[in-house]
């Protein structure tokens, strides 16, 4: 059974946001993606205890981050800041948001696996 270390997931979320903001300004959208991958590698490294655990923790960072980001975008649309929301996340439909969150989880799981491999 896998024990989720929520402190590690929270640190990964914060690191992902910080790296996304910084690297997105430096290198555009690809920089944001690289920042997210670096954060999930960190989470996989800190999760310890094997590849499966690293993958689960990385996927959690992707899913929780995607859900929180989606909710922030929804709030921006609701208060009339749709143009800013489209610049941050160019997803406009619920199905697109679900697909994006699934992709974040997959990329996060890959990053978490790489991080746990580095730890071994």
Return the HEC string of 79-113: CCCHHHHHHHCCCCCHHHHHHHHHHHHHHHHHHHH
Q: Give residue 37's Cα distance to chain centre.
A: 8
Say what the pLDDT of residue 58 is: 92
Number of helices (H), then strands (E), belonging to the chain: the values are 5, 0
Task: Assess contact for 47 and 116: CB atoms under 8 A.
Answer: yes
For residue 96, give both structure tokens.
Answer: 């697109």
Task: Assess contact for 45 and 114: CB atoms under 8 A.
Answer: no
Q: Which residues contact 25 (CB under 8 A, 6 or more apart)?
A: 31
The pTM of the full predicted model, rounded to 2 decimals, is 0.84
High-pLDDT (> 90) share of the chain, %: 35
Per residue in 88-115, pLDDT (tens digit) is: 777 767 788 888 889 999 999 999 999 9
Say what the pLDDT of residue 1 is: 67
């Amino acid at each position: 059974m896998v024990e989720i270390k929520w402190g590690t997931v929270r640190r990964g979320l914060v690191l992902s946001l910080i790296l996304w903001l910084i690297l997105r300004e430096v290198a555009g959208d690809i920089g944001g993606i690289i920042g997210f991958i670096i954060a999930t590698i960190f989470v996989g490294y800190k999760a310890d205890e094997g590849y499966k655990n690293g993958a689960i923790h990385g996927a959690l960072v992707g899913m929780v981050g995607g859900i929180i980001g989606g909710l922030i975008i929804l709030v921006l649309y609701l208060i009339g800041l749709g143009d800013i929301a489209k610049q941050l996340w160019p997803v406009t439909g619920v199905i697109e948001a679900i697909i994006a969150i699934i992709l974040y989880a997959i990329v996060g799981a890959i990053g978490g696996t790489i991080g746990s491999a580095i730890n071994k």
